[in-house]
A and B are shown apart, each in its own frame.
Chain A
Amino acid sequence: MSRLLKAFFYKISKDITFRITLIVGAGVAIFMILLYFLLDLFLDAEGMKMLTGQSMLVTSFSPAQNFGIAIPINVVSFVILEFTQGTIRNKIIAGHSKFKIYASLYLSGLVLAFSLLLMYVGVCTLFGTIIGGFDLDVATMVGTGMGAKLSAEFIIKFVVLSLLTYTSLVSFAVFIATVFRSMGPCIPLVMIGIFGLYFLAVILSTVIMTTESIIDGCNATIADATLQLATEADPEKTKALELSIEMSKQTIETTKPTVDTLHNVENIVKCVDPLYAISSSTIKDGVATIDNYTFFTGIGSNIFYAAAFFIGGACLFKKRDVK
């Protein structure tokens, strides 16, 4: 196994494609910094700053945004080249077991993915911090594009989950590449997989937040109207306030079951969607949070997917002939 990994490091150190990918990644990072800088300049949102160290750290980690999507695609391309160039064949002939070869492909894929990720996240966070600072008290943009403060706990949980998400995505990418062994079906499958899971998380969490905000709005209306009722003498205005309270109560009554159902769905999705924890954003009192249930289901689902794709891929690779 160590021989196979040594060979991988040698190949990657000499391979111009990897260097080009690193340069492209750095270019995308600089472009994103410039874009956020311009957004800050022109939007001038009060109390919110787009370009900060913490916002760049969080957004640059996303596997479905910017350079993030290129990382699993690079892994797929690396594995497929091993098949098309015939180096896998040589490794089998040289006496390496298929399991060791598959494990080395996965580990090499991880090294490749984390190298690209480290470069991209590093450039984004470094320049974001230099230009916009790294101040946790400043509200900034989170995954779903909403403004919120990022706590240290959130950032730690987010980084842990992101790293685990890439671990399972690499496992998926190596699996797909080993099954199809050609770029044609692999790229769309990886993109559909990532975007599908990402949008499921974003849409579901946004719907929940919107529905909850309707209830919050109704509660605020009830509280406000109740306060006004206490001092209001005009019977017409009193009637209107009472009607407003009644309508708000009815809205809450009809919306509440939907929210409950959505939360139940969300709890299931959290367990099955490995991208949910880092793609959805819950904002409580203006601070982005990842609750413990989301955090631990995120860890669990990612470990499960990484292991399942690894074992499944290794078994398939062992069973199938190599051309």
Chain B
Amino acid sequence: MDLITTNELCKSYSKKLVIDHVNMHIPESSIYGFVGENGSGKTTIMRLLTGLAEPTSGTYELFGLKNNDPRIYEKRKNISAIVETTSLVPTLTAKQNIRYYELYTGITLTEADRDALLSKVHLENVNNKKVRNFSLGMRQRLGIALALVNNPKLMFLDEPMNGLDPEGIAELRDLLIELNQKDGITVLISSHILSELEKIATCYGFISHGKLLEEITAQELKERCRKSLMVKVDNIEKAEKVIKELGSLDYKVSPNGEIKIYDNLKIKDVMAGLDAAGINLLGINSSEESVEEYYLNLIKEGK
């Protein structure tokens, strides 16, 4: 079941379409990695889904309720989000910020709960330090702690790893996996650190210039980012014939004279076959496509 679906969602600013007929499907209990270049529309979509912005056209459904259904306000209580920057009161301490958040969300935590929350994000020793004296990483950690106050069913995290040190990134990753696996929390997360996304995402949405290029599960992506053998030769037509003779049907020829073979052929067999056919081998190497490469290829194809 999808927790979020969007239907031809559009948003324009000053007549410029920044979100272009997006149809997203975020399955329940998934970690949805949202991938796109700067200005691609990731944050705008998050802002639309969190109610911070209104769609120009199109609709979305959240927990099975349409965005214009008044009951959606009640459902939004199960959401938490960090969009763009963490929203904190700098003149208050970490605990006071949590208490302030509790008050307007109508949740009451005990002092022990607050301590546990702060220790979860490694801010147990901040005592009475005002948030204005926090580092960027500490603010980000506190923002994450706030996002956990209401035991959300759905979290929107826009670049949550920004400002975190490698240890913090690893801790956040583990925390999100734990929340997702133990409590079934659905997470929509965007990050430029694709290697980190690869470690946690169960599905992906690739977006570029406001258009959703593709939605894919992590399993499907893994299959598509499979191993390949890249061969560069002086005669492509002859080489193609050789590759077919070797039993490969799944290969791609790129305009720069490279052939990418996806079938599991051995390097020495390919080299021997090409040599026997009198083809000059200019280069050969085996590689595995990363999410980043996959995304870049997707953009190229989209263009």
Give residues in A with beta carbon < 8 Å to B.
3-4, 6-7, 10-11, 14-17, 85-87, 89-97, 319, 321-323
Cross-chain contact B85 with A86 (CB below 8 angstroms)? yes
The reply to whether B100 and A322 form a contact with Cβ atoms under 8 Å apart is no
Smallest distance from the beta carbon of A123 to chain B beta carbons, Å?
25
Contact partner of A322 among B53, B75, B89, CB < 8 A? B53
Between A and B, how many residue pairs show CB distances below 8 Å? 79
* Distance in angstroms between the alpha carbons of A3 and B90 in the assembled complex: 21
Residues in B neighbouring A3, C-beta threshold 8 A:
103-106
Contact between B105 and A14 (Cβ–Cβ < 8 Å)?
A: no
User: What are the residues of chain B within 8 A of A4 when measuring CB–CB?
Assistant: 104
Given A4-B104, A10-B99, are A93 and B52 also a contact pair (CB < 8 Å)? yes
- The residue that B104 contacts in the complex, of A7, A16, A86, with Cβ under 8 A, is A7
Of residues 30 to 80 in B, which have CB atoms within 8 Å of A's CB atoms? 47, 50-54, 73-77, 79-80
Which of chain A's residues have a CB closer than 8 A to the CB of B51? 92-93
> Nearest CB to that of A2 among chain B residues?
B106
Question: How far does the alpha carbon of A89 sit from the alpha carbon of B81 in the complex, in Å?
Answer: 9
Chain B residues at the A interface, C-beta cutoff of 8 Å: 47, 50-54, 73-77, 79-81, 83-92, 96, 99-101, 103-106, 146, 150, 156
What is the CA–CA distance of A148 and B101 in the complex, to the nearest angstrom? 52
Contacting residues, chain A, for B105 (C-beta < 8 A): 3, 94
| Chain A residues whose C-beta falls within 8 Å of the C-beta of B76 in the assembled complex | 93-95
Contacts of A93 in B (CB 8 A): 50-52, 76, 79-81, 83, 156
- How distant is A35 from chain B, measured CB to nearest CB, in Å? 33
Q: A94-B77, A96-B73 are in contact. Are A321 and B87 (CB under 8 A)?
A: no
Nearest B residue (CB) for A4: B104
A/B interface sample: 8 pairs, CB < 8 A: A4-B104, A14-B91, A14-B92, A15-B92, A85-B88, A90-B146, A93-B83, A319-B54
How far, in whole Å, are A6 and B107 apart by their CA atoms in the complex? 12
Q: Are A95 and B74 in contact (CB under 8 A)?
A: yes
**B92 adjacent to A321 (CB under 8 Å):** no
Cβ–Cβ < 8 Å partners of A10 in chain B: 99-100, 103
Contact of B88 among A16, A86, A92 (CB under 8 A): A86
**Could you tell me if B75 and A95 are in contact, using CB atoms closer than 8 angstroms?**
yes
| Cβ distance B227 to chain A, nearest Cβ, rounded Å | 42
Q: A90-B101, A92-B52 are in contact. List 8 more A-B contacts (CB 8 A).
A: A14-B92, A14-B96, A15-B91, A91-B104, A93-B79, A94-B76, A95-B73, A323-B84
